[in-house]
Structure 1
């Protein structure tokens, strides 16, 4: 039987939720309304307010080849970072889930990357992948020019993707390990008794049973790749070289705050927001209904 809480004082519930409502209004709905206003208007030359232009800002960005290149780059970035992070996290969770000596230590160590701020990790990885220092520097001495993210766009994009994937391993590891520990041990033990090797047990038994967790992390990692890559790119490459690491979230920053094209940047932010809403809709409306344990 469902029980509900009732307040005799009608103002008390509103006072309790007022701080959260204020935060949502100030930091979400108000910026969103301003972005919508700028996306459908254009500032007059030399001031004088904004004029309504309808869909002109959206048509302008959709007709820009550089913007579509950024969209394609963002999609590749999201898929690559998500795939690398989830595969490594799942592999580590499979090993850490086994009842072996020292497993608890590894379970705690694998979570640490999630606690590191993205700009700090970006600075560290920028030094690690520097072409003139460390292992990379030694390799460049043997094969000059084989790695240089300062001049090669593919190298720079790969460096940022690896850093982003590394940051997400801890988050994915927590969910994968929790999902694996919820599975009955009798299933994997029965598979082992039937002669199934660890990899075969993972593919045939464990992975299908943790499918809801896999799809949940897939959506969350894709959203993170589209929205949380700004700090890494700004610290590591600043969108270069020659815009080769410029993704959607960084391009709207460059256009809005450096190019002073507020209307175009606002239109790009609306497109990015709709993309995130679409991914969230897939998560709550499709994945949770279609993926189950049966």
Structure 2
């Protein structure tokens, strides 16, 4: 017996789908078309007729050394943040999966940071790791300028990566724990009976079986590192792109260029370049990394 809903006319299902179609057109396709149009025109910030300039916006973007600096910073942030987040989530998942006494509450505690907004996490860590009054104050007292995100761009980049990893480690923990629980317990028990310790079982048995989950998280976290709302929120509330453009990631630069600099055309051109960069990295991941993933 077929229990699927069947409509005898086309207008009734179309009427049900109309609100969702309108939302998609207004908040996805219309802005995408606008960005594509603005990238090839000179858009007045306060309204008026736009002037077609062809590839001039892209030429201006590529001639700016600060833009290439933001590309390098974004690559470092996305790569280091992704690897740190997946590694932390994997360690936490392996620890909880052992089902030691009292480990059940940690499932909730490890997921909790994911529910916190990125800007709020950035503000919290800005004070927690403050070089004057935070946890690093005592270290700076013994070793002056050992940690100073307000002065050194490398320190500031480490700070935003730490915030990003802390915020998203719970997200990776959820998927990795689910993947570990799908591994047959008989395999783990057999390896333990053969004398394999927890680390050896994790490296030789559990992690290879998590390859599809790890690949999925790699793609998702790399994309989040490049264009995620949390990426902008963390940078904006923690370092504001500084010092000396040390944390000026691409998504932060695009937003600042558009809403502070009122350069909508330049920001649109940068957005298209960022989309192309994400497509290239996604292609590389699926073309080369997925070859090492076994789904059976």
Report TM bin, short chain: over 0.9
1:270 to 257, 269, 272: 272
1:291 to 261, 281, 293: 293
C-alpha separation in 1, matches of 2:95 and 2:144: 38
> Structure 1 unaligned runs (5+)?
none
C-alpha separation in 2, matches of 1:150 and 1:221: 27
Task: Report what 1:251 is aligned to.
Answer: 253
SS in 2 for 1:93: helix
RMSD: 2.4
Task: Report what 1:68 is aligned to.
Answer: 68
**1:22-171 equivalences in 2 (<5 Å):** 22-43=22-43, 49-171=49-171
C-alpha separation in 1, matches of 2:234 and 2:93: 26
Size of the alignment, in residue pairs? 294
Given that 1:156 and 1:244 are in contact with CA atoms closer than 8 Å, whether structure 2 keeps it comes out as yes
C-alpha separation in 1, matches of 2:111 and 2:182: 19
Given that 1:212 and 1:287 are in contact with CA atoms closer than 8 Å, whether structure 2 keeps it comes out as no
Deviation at 1:116, TM superposition (A): 0.5
Deviation at 1:270, TM superposition (A): 1.3
Given that 1:57 and 1:263 are in contact with CA atoms closer than 8 Å, whether structure 2 keeps it comes out as yes
Deviation at 1:202, TM superposition (A): 1.1
1:237 to 239, 243, 250: 239
Task: Report what 2:7 is aligned to.
Answer: 7
C-alpha separation in 2, matches of 1:194 and 1:46: 73
Given that 1:216 and 1:287 are in contact with CA atoms closer than 8 Å, whether structure 2 keeps it comes out as no
Q: What TM-score does the superposition give when structure 1 sets the normalisation length?
A: 0.92
> Structure 2 unaligned runs (5+)?
none
C-alpha separation in 1, matches of 2:74 and 2:111: 26
1:32 to 1:286, Cα distance in 2 relative to 1, 3 A: farther
Provide, for residues 121-159 of structure 1, a one-character-per-residue CA deviation record: whole Å limited to 9, x for no partner.
011000011111132112222222221111111111111
Q: What TM-score does the superposition give when structure 2 sets the normalisation length?
A: 0.92
Deviation at 1:62, TM superposition (A): 1.8
SS in 1 for 2:236: helix
Task: Report what 2:205 is aligned to.
Answer: 205
Provide, for residues 235-262 of structure 1, a one-character-per-residue CA deviation record: whole Å limited to 9, x for no partner.
1111111111100001112222222221
C-alpha separation in 2, matches of 1:218 and 1:123: 26
Given that 1:122 and 1:236 are in contact with CA atoms closer than 8 Å, whether structure 2 keeps it comes out as yes
Deviation at 1:111, TM superposition (A): 0.6
Given that 1:41 and 1:54 are in contact with CA atoms closer than 8 Å, whether structure 2 keeps it comes out as yes
Deviation at 1:44, TM superposition (A): 6.5
C-alpha separation in 2, matches of 1:141 and 1:253: 37
- Give yes or no for the alignment of 1:21 onto 2:26: no
Q: Which has the higher contact order (CA 8 A, sep 6+)?
A: 2
C-alpha separation in 2, matches of 1:44 and 1:134: 45
